[in-house]
Amino acid sequence: MFLLLVLAVLALLYYLYIKPLWYWKSRNVPFENPVPVFGNMMKPTFKLEHIITVIQRMYNNSKDSPYFGFLNFQNPILVLKDPELIKKVTVKDFDVFPRHRAMADEKIDPLWSKNLFSVQEVQKWRHLRATLSPTFTANKLRMMFDLMQECAKNFTKHYLQQEDEVVEVDIKDAFRRYATDVIATTAFGITCNSVKDRNNEFYIMGLDVSNFNGIRALKFFLYSSSPAICKILRLGIFGKTVSNFFRKIVSDNIRMREEQSIVRPDMIHLLMEARKGKMKKEKPEPVDLDVDSFAAVEESEMVNKEASWQMEITDEDITAQAMVFFLGGFDTTSSMMSFAIAELAVNPEIQQRLREEINDVVERTGGKIKYEDINRMKYFDMVISETLRKWALAVFLDRQAVKPYTISQENGKPALRIEEGDVIWIPVYSIHRDPKYYPDPEKFDPERFSDERKHEIKPFTFLPFGTGPRNCIGSRFALLEAKIALFNILIHFEVVPTSKVTLPLKLDEKLFMPQIEGGFIFSLKKIKTSFGDYLIS
């Protein structure tokens, strides 16, 4: 009996941890030798290498293949390299790959599983996306512009009021505080000044939500390696403190708006209107290329069509959208701004050229900056686009098949069959640094995105906000938020590196989220300007 039990355990261990090691070899797909239990994730798990580095190496070692195989613990992932194949999966055959892989059970972690990014049911996603998309139209962003501008002025004023002429700043922390204030006012209707009130509850919750170290890193490890165990143990991504905070903020906000008939052009208002069946169908706005960012993504025609299927919208649904919006702004957008500052600091000639463009706009407008003024700044947009190219914030995009699919190959190679439930990754960071698409990829060169050269960028090789119907809904919001902050800083400060920053800039291999070695510790050096009145106007 004991021998049978041992044999059964060994058979189970073989099936779970040994057999997957040969998955990609059996399918004739290029791969890097995995190890038991961890697959290709051992070095990232123990912080010996960043997952970006692992994927980059595998990307480079599979030069003649349109894809390669990755083993995420025991879960096989097909990683796509070919732009045409990426187009098929994300756009042409969206009906086969309409969702992301589930990271949480709806009954255990509703705030994570019900948000727009995570929701699994395709019809529900379509309706939710159509409901939320009017939040981010140009007209709505114009209404939010002054709110963002006020946050940026308060942010800049804080550092101008420091006695020292040169102020050392943790830029990532500073931008997280700015992002907190922007999201609080534009999404929740709450005024914050996180640079002054350094321990306000919104900011503290943001730190908690965006912390992927410690116990939350362990949870992600379990979700990636053994989702069934997470379900049995009823492990959610976020703790009760965070969840209850956002539930209370949203429920109090909804109650106040209903009692006082308050109307704000934000996400919560749109979801409240949709719940009442009063959501108005807006005509898609024509894109004005002179006031649009190159990196911004378009809403799919599929989403623009009015969804006929109706869904019940609860307070929990509204809270889930507000929470993921907060998370995206707090960490992702603040990272974009931080990388931009880092590159400007180590490329002073680019910083000076951008400052000259900013000064020209301030002088032309008399300091009364509008939405169109910032979005018509071509060199500014080139700098932001190159930041997103070199420091892609989405390391990879993921899609999951909901039915079988076949990838055909040329040169007589056998077709590759994908089964229902299989997951695909698109390695954005590696594609953005592929010299085939971007010569001298380590060089920070905004001229790649000039009017004369941007047509050279091959479709589906610039993916900072994803692609296809499931792209980032808030791309224009994030770009505007970043530009307003940098605009205000560069009027009054020269940004210079400190001795704490590793030069040349390189990725910190030990951190889960992309960050440069030494952290984003830069100095803001006050400069003489004739635009002092602009800041306090």
Closest Cα to residue 508, out of 519, 523, 521, 498? 519
Neighbours of 418 (CB within 10 A): 18
Binding positions for heme are: 472
Residue 267 pLDDT greater than 80, yes or no: no
AA identity, residue 133:
S
More confident residue, 358 or 245: 358
For 169, counting Cβ atoms within 10 Å of its Cβ (0-12 exposed, 13-18 middle, 19+ buried), the class is buried
- Domains of the chain by range and CATH? 100-280+303-394+427-536 (1.10.630.10)
- Which 3 state secondary structure label does DSSP give 483? helix
For residues 217-241, average pLDDT: 67
Query: CA triplet 463, 395, 343: central angle to 5 degrees?
Result: 80
- The set of residues, in sequence order, having a beta carbon less than 8 Å from that of 160 and lying 6+ positions away, is 492, 526, 535
Q: What is the mean pLDDT of residues 106-131?
A: 84
Most confident of 44-58, 119-133, 442-456: 442-456
CB within 8 Å of 510: residues ≥ 6 apart:
47, 50
Instruction: Write the DSSP assignment of 516-534 as a string of letters.
Output: BTT-SEEEEEE---S-HHH
Q: Flag whether pLDDT at 533 surpasses 70.
A: no
Answer whether residue 9 shows pLDDT above 70: no
The residue behind tokens 């912390």 is: 211
- Kindly indicate the confidence band of residue 230, based on its pLDDT and cuts at 50, 70 and 90: low
Cα–Cα distance measured from residue 104 to residue 433, given in angstroms and rounded to the nearest whole number: 32
CA 199 to chain CA centroid, Å, is: 25
Tokens of 283: 């005509």
Residue 310: its pLDDT value, please? 58
Lowest mean pLDDT among 272-281, 396-405, 461-470: 272-281
Mean per-residue pLDDT for 206-228? 67
The amino acid at 164: D
How far is 505 from 343, CA to CA, in rounded Å? Answer: 8
Q: What angle in degrees, to the nearest 10, is found between the helix axes of 240-260 and 315-327?
A: 120
How is residue 221 written in tokens? 């490890």
| Residue in this structure with the two tokens 């058979």, named with its chain if needed | 11
Helical spans, DSSP H, in 46-137? 51-61, 83-87, 110-113, 122-132
Range from 204-208, 280-284, 289-293, 473-477 carrying the lowest mean pLDDT: 280-284
* pLDDT surpasses 90 at 81: yes
Burial per residue of 91-112, b for 16 or more beta-carbon CB atoms within 10 angstroms, e otherwise: beebebbbbbbebbbbeebbbb
Section 353-373 average pLDDT: 94
Q: Which residues have CB under 8 Å from 245's CB, separation 6+?
A: 201, 205
pLDDT classification of 15: cutoffs 50, 70, 90? low
Tokens of 446: 């905004």
Q: Is the pLDDT of residue 513 over 60?
A: yes
Which strands sit side by side in the sheet containing 493-497, from one edge to the other?
Answer: 166-170, 521-526, 493-497
Residue 458 is predicted with a pLDDT of 97
- Segment holding 343, helix H or strand E: helix 334-346
Binding-site entries:
472
For residue 127, the one-letter residue type is H
Distance CA 199, CA 219 (A): 27
- What integer pLDDT is reported at residue 479 of this predicted model? 96
- The DSSP bridge partners found for residue 31 are 69
Lowest mean pLDDT: which of 7-16, 68-77, 119-128, 482-491?
Answer: 7-16
Pairing of β 493-497 and β 423-426: unpaired
Angle subtended at Cα 339 by Cα 322 and Cα 287, rounded to the nearest 5 degrees: 60
Q: Would you state the structure tokens that stand for residue 240, as one six-digit string?
A: 């009760």
Q: What is the mean pLDDT of residues 160-174?
A: 93
Range name among 69-83, 92-106, 169-183 with the lowest pLDDT average: 92-106
Is residue 423 pLDDT above 90, yes or no? yes
pLDDT band per the 50, 70, 90 thresholds, residue 515: confident
Coil vs helix vs strand at 166: strand
SS (H, E, C) 262-325: CCCCCHHHHHHHHHHCCCCCCCCCCCCHHHCCCCCCCCCHHHHCCCCCCCCCCHHHHHHHHHHH
Alpha helices in 161-194 (DSSP H): 171-187
Say if residue 199's pLDDT is above 60. Answer: yes
CB 344 within 8 A of CB 489: no
pLDDT at 216 over 70: no
The yes-or-no verdict on residue 265 having pLDDT over 90 is no
Per-chain mean pLDDT for the chain: 86
Q: Which residue has the higher pLDDT, 530 or 194?
A: 194
Q: Is 435 exposed, middle or buried (0-12, 13-18, 19+ CB in 10 A)?
A: exposed
**Confidence bin at 62 (pLDDT 50/70/90):** very high
- At 130, the pLDDT band (50, 70, 90 cuts) reads confident
- Kindly list the strands in the beta sheet with 75-80, ordered across the sheet, starting from the edge strand earlier in the chain: 67-72, 75-80, 423-426, 397-400
Q: Is the pLDDT of residue 255 over 60?
A: yes
- The per-residue pLDDT for range 304-326, each reduced to its tens digit, is 665 444 567 888 888 888 888 88
Tokens matching residue 41:
């994730």
- According to DSSP, the residues that pair with 72 across neighbouring strands are 39, 75
| Structure token pair of residue 162 | 């420091």
Give the length of the chain: 537
